[in-house]
Amino acid sequence: MRLHYPGEDRRLVYEQEAGNVRSDDFGYFELPFVAQGRAFVLGAASEDRVPAFSAPLVLSGPAMYGAVVRLAQAGQRVRVGVVSLGGTPVPGAMVRLQALAEVEGYTAEQRQSRTFREAAHRLARTGADGWVEFRGVPAGTVTIVAGRPGGKLTKHEGLVERGRTLEVAISVP
Q: How confident is the model at residue 138, as a pLDDT?
A: 85
Window from 28-32, 80-84, 93-97, 139-143 with minimum mean pLDDT: 28-32
- Is the per-residue pLDDT at 104 higher than 80? no
DSSP state for residue 48 in the 8-state scheme: S
Q: How confident is the model at residue 69, as a pLDDT?
A: 87
42 shares its domain with 83: no
96 shares its domain with 143: yes
- Is the per-residue pLDDT at 12 higher than 60? no
Q: pLDDT band at 14, cuts 50/70/90?
A: very low
Task: Please name the amino acid found at residue 5.
Answer: Y
- Is the per-residue pLDDT at 124 higher than 90? yes
DSSP state string for 3-16: EE-TTS-HHHHHHH
97 shares its domain with 28: no
Question: Does 135 fall in a domain?
Answer: yes
Q: What is the CATH number of the domain that holds 109?
A: 2.60.40.1120
Question: Does 27 fall in a domain?
Answer: yes
Question: Does 127 fall in a domain?
Answer: yes
CA-based nearest residue to 172, from 100, 76, 98, 96: 96
CA-based nearest residue to 123, from 145, 152, 153, 100: 145
Q: What is the overall mean pLDDT for the chain?
A: 85
What's the domain count of the chain? Answer: 2
DSSP state for residue 103 in the 8-state scheme: G
In the Cβ-directed half-sphere of 139, how many Cα atoms lie within 13 Å? 11
Distance CA 160, CA 168 (A): 11
Read off the pTM.
Answer: 0.77
16 shares its domain with 82: no
48 shares its domain with 80: no
Highest mean pLDDT of the ranges 38-47, 106-115, 121-130: 121-130
49 shares its domain with 125: no
Q: How confident is the model at residue 11, as a pLDDT?
A: 46
Q: Which residues have CB under 8 Å from 92's CB, separation 6+?
A: 125, 126, 148, 149
Enclosing domain of residue 40? 2-58
50 shares its domain with 80: no
Highest mean pLDDT of the ranges 23-27, 28-32, 40-44, 154-158: 154-158
Residue pLDDT, tens place only, 35-61: 888 888 888 888 888 888 998 999 888
Three-state SS at 35 = coil
Distance CA 42, CA 55 (A): 8
Say how many C-beta atoms besides its own lie within 10 A of residue 127's C-beta.
13
86 shares its domain with 36: no
Question: Does 133 fall in a domain?
Answer: yes
Question: Does 64 fall in a domain?
Answer: no
Question: Does 70 fall in a domain?
Answer: no
DSSP state for residue 160 in the 8-state scheme: E
130 shares its domain with 166: yes
Q: How confident is the model at residue 8, as a pLDDT?
A: 66
- 3-state percent breakdown (helix, strand, coil) of the chain, nearest 5: 15, 40, 45
Cβ-contact 14, 48 below 8 angstroms? no
Question: Does 19 fall in a domain?
Answer: yes
151 shares its domain with 100: yes
